[in-house]
Amino acid sequence: MPIFRAGCQGMETRVSVHIYPSTFEHESRILRVTGSLCELGLFSHVVIVARWRPGLAEHERIDEEREVYRIRAVWSDRVGWKKAFSLLHWFISVIWLLRKRRLDCINCHSLTVLPVSVALKVLHRARLVYEPHELETERRGLTGLTKYLSKLAERTLIGLADAVVVVGEAIAGWYRSTYGLPTVHVIYNLPEVGHKFSKITRKVNSQKKGLTFGYLGVLSEGRGVELMLQVFARQDTHHLRLVGDGPLAETVRGYADKHDHIEYIGFVFPEKIPHVLRDVDIGVCLIENLCLSYYYSIPNKLFECLGNGIPVVISDFPEMARIIDRYHVGWKVKPKPEALQSLLAALDPADIERKTRAAVSAADMFQWSREKHKLASIYTAFGFQPIVDICSDHEPTSGTTGDKANQGKPAGT
């Protein structure tokens, strides 16, 4: 496959802009997607537009092909006219920033920025890919007039997207049935493990006295963090390791200080995740049913564990349960303290060993490399064929592209 090589004057220029209303500090999915688009030769340049905050650079280059612009604009997270004004100000700043650039594809990563993404599509006569990271109009905390306006905006504008890409089959089904969309693409947020998974790297640890359970991700309400802490604090047979950061970090730290079998690691960079998981026996992913977006979710932490050959305890919700049932790589429980406590008491060494071996066998199924071909097909359908470097005298052989998915930029768990 022809690939992009920076610095060649004879090469076609094709630009993709990715818009997301965050400060772009730990956005692992966008890094994986943009890195793959460049590796596959579909775009020669990627511009990521985000929000600025004190302490962050307004312009940052990730690598030769990708750069981030953080817009210094008034921003308010409060609902009401201040929020509306701050969004309008940010939208105008985005349009102004990109006014003289050639844009071939606009990638909208949130409903919040769908209006400005549609405006850019029209102004630049570009393709538009709408790829929300969750079920946008059914997310936690969205109520009343704000929810009504969000639904109205999405229903009005989603038909202007050339492609809709979501993170799971349940959400894809919701978008198809709600808006009558004939096609909704699914690109799972699989990890870039960064090493060839070996079936001898993970030993079955079910015979030892206590198991080590691991949690990866944001430490916030609705993710089962407090539930896990309460249950593990009431027993001392098994160990709990929590990796991540967020509003509940101090709560987790407090439990870790009081209980020797509860360990708090804090935030780690993606490349360190296999290291912190090396002696974890079972992952824990207990999302709580606080909204439909949570109920349909398929969290990163599930794939991080499975990609490293670790079976997982999950909430018995449709999307996660489908993965567990298909590959036999974990346990389904209600996200309640008593359900988790009962599971801990009933764990059978033979069952643990079976599920660990199944997770090890299936680990290669949960690698980002498996999503790349699906990603490429979305853009080749637009007519975006891989860019040919006419400075090269030969075609590179298969597999010679480098891994840019998480290169040069920290990403969260």
**Please, which pLDDT band fits residue 2 given cuts at 50, 70 and 90?**
very low
Q: What is the pTM of this model?
A: 0.85
The pLDDT of residue 123: 97
The pLDDT of residue 77: 59
Residue 298 pLDDT > 80? yes
The pLDDT of residue 278: 86
The pLDDT of residue 395: 43
**Where are the chain's structural domains?**
15-187+371-380, 212-365
Residue 200 pLDDT > 80? no
**Which range among 98-107, 185-194, 316-325 shows the weakest confidence by mean pLDDT?**
185-194
Distance CA 300, CA 412 (A): 10
The pLDDT of residue 389: 52
| CATH number assigned to the domain with residue range 15-187+371-380, chosen from the 4 options 3.40.50.1000, 3.40.50.970, 3.40.50.2000, 3.40.50.10860 | 3.40.50.2000
Residue 193 pLDDT > 80? no
Q: Is the CATH number of domain 212-365 3.40.50.2000?
A: yes
The pLDDT of residue 397: 38
Which of 28, 73, 69 is CA-nearest to residue 46?
69
In DSSP notation, 191-242 reads: ----S---TTSS---TTSSS-EEEEES---TTTTHHHHHHHHHT-SSSEEEE
Residue 276 pLDDT > 60? yes
Instruction: Please tell me if the domain spanning 15-187+371-380 has the same topology as the one spanning 212-365.
Output: yes
**Please, which pLDDT band fits residue 284 given cuts at 50, 70 and 90?**
very high
Instruction: Spell out the residues 6+ positions from residue 291 whose beta carbon is closer than 8 angstroms to its own.
Output: 138, 139, 140, 141, 142
Residue 62 pLDDT > 80? yes
Tell me if 193 sits within 8 A of 310, measured CB to CB: no
The pLDDT of residue 72: 85
**Please, which pLDDT band fits residue 129 given cuts at 50, 70 and 90?**
very high
**Please, which pLDDT band fits residue 36 given cuts at 50, 70 and 90?**
very high
User: How confident is the prediction for the chain on average, in pLDDT?
Assistant: 87
Cα distances (angstroms) measured from residue 347 to each of 181, 210, 313, 316, 325 = 44, 11, 11, 17, 18
The token pair at 163 is: 């492609």
Query: For the chain, what percent of residues have pLDDT higher than 70?
Result: 85
**Please, which pLDDT band fits residue 404 given cuts at 50, 70 and 90?**
low
Put residue 144 in one of left, alpha, beta given phi > 0 → left and psi -120 to 50 → alpha: left
The pLDDT of residue 391: 44
